[in-house]
Amino acid sequence: MFKNPFKRSWSSSGPSDAQDAVAPRTTLFQNPFHSSKRPNTSTVLASPPTILHRNPFKRVPHSNSIPEISSASPPPLPTSTQVTSAVISTTHVPDVPTTSTQTVTRPPVDPTHLSTRTTRKANEIKPSDLRPPVLAKHRIADWETPFSLQQKEKYLSTFPQKVISSAEKAIAGSTVDVTKETYAAGLTRFTQYCDELNIDENQRMPADKLLIAGFVGEHISKVSGSTISNWLSGLKAWHEMKGAPWCGDDCWIRMAHRTAHREGVIHKRKPRSPVTLHHLIVLHKALDFSIPFHIAVWAVAIITFWACRRLGETTIPSIAKFNPKFHVTGEAVFCYFQQPDGTRAVSFRIPWTKTTHGNGADVIVSGLINDPEGICGLKALALHLHLNVNKDVPKSYSLFGYIDEQGNPQHMVKDKFLELCFDIWTRECICDVLGHSFRIGGAVHLLSLGLAPEYVAAVSGWTSLAFLLYWRRIVEIVPVAIHKAMELEKVKKAIEDYRKKQAISNTMIETVASGLSCTPNDFLDD
């Protein structure tokens, strides 16, 4: 048996002073395995693991996780210049090739991340410790691969846990929860595809361009191109979060993506009509203004329309998801002013938008001088905030919160708001609208009044390109809101002049709209 001249014996209480002594400096870099002929491999493998994996001159923290080495395929022996780097860590051996037999323990999952819901049939995947049943918003962070776990092991052998935890927290915070939930669908569909074809776990990250192109090809003509775009965005975010290279810019992926958009047209949702003044008048007549909830609904509807805002900026997705960081509260500061034509206006700040993120935006609502139908935004806001019991809603609640029938404060939840609006409009057979129709309708109406596209884009919070993309999308439904041919032609000419002034070509608009170059966040629905 080969005897290790540098081996130390460890006691349960730690090394003694005598044991801390090191070998003479003259033997410090001597390779005990070096000889004129190759040593017996079986003898080396039979030696204690300490010889291969522990540096006799550097004490390292104890680790229970030591990579397994197959006896059938022993690693090449290090040369004399490789010994010091090959034996520094007991948890990472760079010179040993990574194989499927190497085991890496995944970190425990935060119990608060686990989902208690039963997975829907369409979202089922094969059980795996790599993919715990967590909530959709935690899927990108908590779903692992052999590659990502090996990355974690490498970092743990180099940096303190505090550094790693801080980095993970900072990276995870770059994307809001609602976007993470959208991305999660891409991970699920990709995993289902790989499970069905028995794709090895090691091949799933970093994903090869052929695998991604095949994944896209499998779903071509089955779903819309925008759906596949969202799935690929999710896979990209997953790779980036795990430190893996992403092949999304490869020409194969771009070509497959283009095909998906062309063949997925049949799944494109039919454009919905915009909310018009007629919708608002019908809503106003049907609401009972002795009910605080109805008063709050009216304020949301009229302000979202006139300010051309996303409905997600004036309501909240659910009570559990209310967050003052993203949702405007009763503590908002209102600025009242008078415009040159004599009309009054009010503005308040919202803390978050899809395009500006944490910089927020100003919501501007102008009053109406002549308001026979009672659709003035200023009046609706004043009624909600000052002239009824909703003024008693705590300032910490969402801005358009209300007092319910039991006298308790409630948030204005988007689904509950739309439920009442749709119920009223359905009875009048004018419910061919969606939540996003408020923003569409407001923009179209302001343009039809002759307002410059620059003004409408600024009020609505659009960039130049995003506004033109938006116009391209809604042009089919504009005639629904503009009944006079002269007004329609005037609006079209104003938009074309605006495009030329901004030096944005139609080719660029078509390219971006196809999803090949980018997908502007403010071009997405609520």
How high is the pLDDT of residue 485? 55
Please tell me the predicted confidence (pLDDT) of residue 42. Answer: 41
Predicted local distance difference test score (pLDDT) of residue 221:
92
The Cα angle at residue 475 between residues 470 and 479, in degrees rounded to 5: 135
Is residue 122 a contact partner of residue 189, using CB atoms and an 8 Å limit? Answer: no
The pLDDT value recorded for residue 468 is 72
At residue 473, the pLDDT reads: 59
Burial bucket for residue 13 (CB in 10 Å: 0-12, 13-18, 19+): exposed
| 76 DSSP assignment | P
* Whether 286 contacts 424, CB under 8 Å: yes
What superfamily would CATH give domain 113-267? Tyrosine recombinase, N-terminal domain (1.10.150.130)
Helix (H) or strand (E) holding 363: strand 361-366
Residues facing 73 on adjacent strands: none
How many residues make up the chain in this entry? Answer: 526
Structure tokens at 168: 């993970």
pLDDT per position as a tens digit, 339-363: 677 778 999 999 999 888 889 999 9
Average per-residue pLDDT for the chain: 79
Question: Would you say 6 and 23 are in contact if contact means Cβ atoms under 8 Å apart?
Answer: yes
Residue by residue, pLDDT tens for the chain (526 residues) are 444 544 444 444 444 444 444 444 443 444 444 444 444 444 434 444 443 444 444 444 444 443 443 444 444 433 333 333 333 333 333 343 343 434 567 778 999 999 988 989 999 999 999 999 999 999 999 999 999 999 999 999 999 999 999 999 999 988 888 899 999 999 999 999 999 999 999 999 999 999 999 999 999 999 999 899 999 999 999 999 999 999 999 999 999 999 998 898 777 777 678 899 999 999 999 999 999 999 999 999 999 999 999 999 999 999 999 999 999 999 999 999 886 777 789 999 999 998 888 899 999 998 888 888 899 999 999 999 988 889 999 999 999 999 999 999 999 999 999 999 999 999 999 988 888 899 988 988 888 888 888 888 888 887 776 777 666 656 655 665 555 555 667 777 777 887 888 787 777 666 665 544 444 343 344 4
Surface-to-core class of residue 321, CB atoms within 10 Å of its CB (0-12 exposed, 13-18 middle, 19+ buried): middle
Q: At a CB cut-off of 8 Å and minimum separation 6, what does 433 contact?
A: 272, 273, 274, 275, 279, 422, 425
Q: What is 277-523's CATH number, 1.10.443, 1.10.3470, 2.60.40, 2.40.50?
A: 1.10.443
Phi-psi map region of 308: left, alpha, beta (phi>0 left; psi -120 to 50 alpha): left
In the chain, which residues fall in CATH 1.10.150.130?
Answer: 113-267
List every span in the chain annotated with CATH 1.10.443: 277-523
pTM of the model: 0.66
Distance, CA of 379 to CA of 371 (rounded, Å): 10
pLDDT at 219: 96
